[in-house]
Amino acid sequence: MGFFDRLSQVWKGFLSLWISDIENRNPEAVYEAAIEERIIKHRELKKAVSGIVYLRNKLQAELDQKETLLAEVQLQIPVAVEEGEDEAALVLIEKKDELDGAIARLTGELEKVSGQAEDAKSGLLQFQAEIEKLKREKISMLAKKQNAEARIKIQDSLDGLSTDADIKALENVRETINKRAAEADVSGEIKGESLDHKLKKIKAKTANAAARSQLADMKRKLAAKRAAEVAAGVKKTM
């Protein structure tokens, strides 16, 4: 296979894929094209059938005419014989024989053409039925396609709600909680470094120191008192 032959095959392959993609995306157009093609063929077939029917009718009319003439000739022959018209009788007999032959020929042709006409009409009716069937199939398949697309759309929505939406909601909640916790941590860290907090700590230490000083003073006074009482007791005993 030469280069151009291979190139032609590749091009045909791409063209086939392109057409197939268009057909898959627009099935209604495919059905319409198929129906229209069958309608055109149905018209052509109908013309062919009408030609066969016309020929059958023509043969039938010619056969009827020959049979009518034969009947007349058959009535005339006995009269010519009785009248002694031998020449006329001979002509009528020859005409009768010709009519018999023509009738036999026409009868055979008519049977054949009549059979063809019936087959053609049957095929025409069947073809018409196929067109109607294809029209019904188009309606059914397009409805099925729309129903399937609707179900897929709903399922996609449900899948999105059951997974992506839930996960996103949880992530948002987790992020909010973590941010609040971080704010609390920052508040605690800042609180320990604030001036007010330091002043409060100093004040608390100062208050504690004053209390301790008072306590020490009270203990000294108590010790001095006890020492004085001990000393006074010693003097009395002496």
What was the pLDDT predicted at 232?
Answer: 72
- The pLDDT value recorded for residue 191 is 55
In this structure, what DSSP letter does residue 51 have? H
φ, ψ dihedrals at 83, nearest 5° = -80, -5
Q: Exposed, middle or buried, 107 (CB in 10 Å: 0-12/13-18/19+)?
A: middle
pLDDT of residue 238: 59
Model-level pTM greater than 0.85? Answer: no
Block mean pLDDT (10 aa), the chain, length 238: 49 44 69 89 88 92 94 92 90 93 94 91 88 89 84 74 64 79 64 61 69 80 80 65
Sign of the alpha-carbon torsion through 136, 142, 143, 148: positive
Q: Is 69 left (phi over 0), alpha (psi -120 to 50) or beta?
A: alpha
User: Looking at residue 15, what is its pLDDT?
Assistant: 41
Predicted local confidence at residue 196, as pLDDT: 64
Between CA 212 and CA 218, with CA 216 as vertex, the angle to 5 degrees is 115
